[in-house]
Structure 1
Amino acid sequence: MLYYNNIVNNIKNVTDSKKFWQAINFFKKKDFNGKCLVKPNEWLLYFEALLNPPLLSSSVSYCAPLIVDEYLDADFTSHELEAVLAKAKNNKTPGSDGICYEYFKNASKPFLSKIINIFNLIYKNGKVPKSFKKSIIFPLHKKGDRNRVENYRGLSFIDCVAKLFTSLVDNRLVNWVNEHSVLSEYQACFRKGYSTVE
């Protein structure tokens, strides 16, 4: 049992993509007795239900007027991408494309310029590539019966290029919200420098 717990703990710190997938495949095949733990379809149904709750209503009762804002609507710049890359942590497991942050951090300026152009096209058109919506979900056992899917939490591995894009958008929005004092001082949840604990 300790052997398996060590493997699970080591997965969290794996920096080599090949070693990560070896560990994942080890757990996919069998449990401690060599028997299959949970069928793939059970995982699918569990995570689909968890991540896609039913809509209460599909109708829209209010639609905000279109707001044109020079700062929010501007093209992303190389400076913004460099700032996002500087904050991106090394040795993180990549998504399904296998490309990690270090690839982008060591890329040439002309390559990064092309990435920015692609990001700007996505931003202007409002159409996100399908690959940005895909993630690999690895079920990590929390506690309890290993044969029950609800005793697992999902670790989601998204392509780094998608995370770079969403970080650019997030930085823009956070800067704009802070500059325009849109949020109340009492809105502390998910804000840098704030705490929900009093």
Structure 2
Amino acid sequence: MIAQHRSLTLSIRRWWRREDGSMTLEFLIFAPLMFFTFVGTLAFFDAFRAESINEKAAMTIADLISRETGYINDAYIDGTYGLLKFLIRGDAKPDMRVSVLRFEEKRKGANTTDQDRYRLVWSKARGTGAHVAITDNEAKTMLPKLPTMVHDERLIVVETWSNYKTFFNFGFNIAWTSADGTAAPPPDNILLTSLIFTAPRVGLAQTCFNNTTNVANRIC
């Protein structure tokens, strides 16, 4: 019995120390893992690249408007919407909303209940119609998303929405949520959103909206 036990022990030790063999089994185990890791990395990289392009396109439009010295009109908004579609390319029908808001500081005094808030100057929307122009009531609720500014100062706000579609289901619904934040979108149709704000660079002229040549019709 002792000899058999010793022989079995030696056999196990020799088997444990062996370095010869075939790579077939290891390849069968690790090949699927390597494949999904590689494809998943490409899928996530492309999704984040699309999100970055969407944000940079909104930044470009906001910067363009902030440098404008003339009036903004519907033709100008149509042009910026065409620029947005050209830059993002992934979605042929993105949504865009350009707004100018005015910061209203709360009135001083112990008896007032007013709070800092934004008031609507003007707002225009382009796209499929899912996102309409900002109302004054909606502008009042945007303070948590925007900076506190000097009383009566203007702010140019550019918002974009575009759909990103992927052929791979790698849990994108975990990384992105729907526009209202209540439910995750399907993994093959992700809504990319951006909100970019900037102050006018020259003065108040470029924040005025006017479709006519009559100065009295401007909205500032």
TM over 0.5: no
Task: Please give the TM-score of this superposition, normalised by the length of structure 1.
Answer: 0.23
The higher-RCO structure (CA 8 Å, 6+ apart) is 2
Kindly indicate which of the two structures has a greater share of residues assigned to strand.
2
TM-score scaled to structure 2, two decimals?
0.22
Structure with bigger gyration radius: 2
